[in-house]
Amino acid sequence: MQRGDSRPVSSSDVKGLKKVDVRLKWDPSAWDRPPHHLDIIATTYPVDAPYGRPVYVVQFDKRSPDGTINMSRHSRTGQGFGFVEEMTFELDRLATSFVRVVVGVAIHQDDGHKTFGDVSNTGVVVTEGYEELLTDDFQQVSGATAATVAEFTRNASGAWEFHEAVRGFDSDPVLFTQEMGSPPRT
């Protein structure tokens, strides 16, 4: 999300973002259909290769080595009330060797091809404390099987900034982890 004057969003122009939460929701599939399984995925990038291969990937079965990015809630079905999956980013604790973190959502393709348009009531919210940085329902990428939603970058002063980054991809969760950090196509 950009402010009206096109500057990236940060909690303070000096201090930057500290602790951010990304929450995901979706409706379960019909009782006689295979479950919809969506996952929040995060990738981290170093100073010397901010658009290269990720240093590490965080998702439902992998946490960050330093404990700064953690999955606190996970669902394989979407069952539950409201947001059923959540990942927390402690950006202020992330090593200075990292300058970029990309966050996305992927749909598991185990039971046939599924897009965001096939899954009802999808939604993602990115917050810092009580401040909502992004709310999206994936409608603009309804034909995609995976999408990036947010990018956090460290500016020259060392402060973390948020950038809306909703881009659709047609890939499974494994391939998506390698593609999601690529520069946007123009």
Structural domain boundaries enclosing 81: 19-179
**What's the domain count of the chain?**
1
Residue 58 lies in a domain: yes
Closest by CA to 97, choosing from 58, 159, 44, 21, is: 44
Supply the CATH number for residue 23's domain: 2.60.60.30
Q: How open is the CA angle 84-146-58, to the nearest 5 degrees?
A: 60
Residue 27 lies in a domain: yes
In this predicted structure, what is the pLDDT of residue 165?
Answer: 95
Residue 59 lies in a domain: yes
User: Taking 90 as the threshold, does the pLDDT of residue 94 lie above it?
Assistant: yes
The structure tokens listed for 46 are 């170093």
Residue 118 lies in a domain: yes
In this predicted structure, what is the pLDDT of residue 87?
Answer: 95
User: Taking 80 as the threshold, does the pLDDT of residue 135 lie above it?
Assistant: yes
Residue 8 lies in a domain: no
Q: What's the whole-number average pLDDT of the chain?
A: 87
Residue 172 lies in a domain: yes
CA 162, CA 150: separation in Å to the nearest integer? Answer: 7
Kindly report, residue by residue over 54-84, the tens digit of the pLDDT: 999 999 878 888 999 998 766 655 566 667 6
Kindly report, residue by residue over 2-40, the tens digit of the pLDDT: 333 334 555 445 579 999 999 999 888 778 887 788 999
- Is residue 26 within 8 Å of residue 121, measured between CB atoms? yes
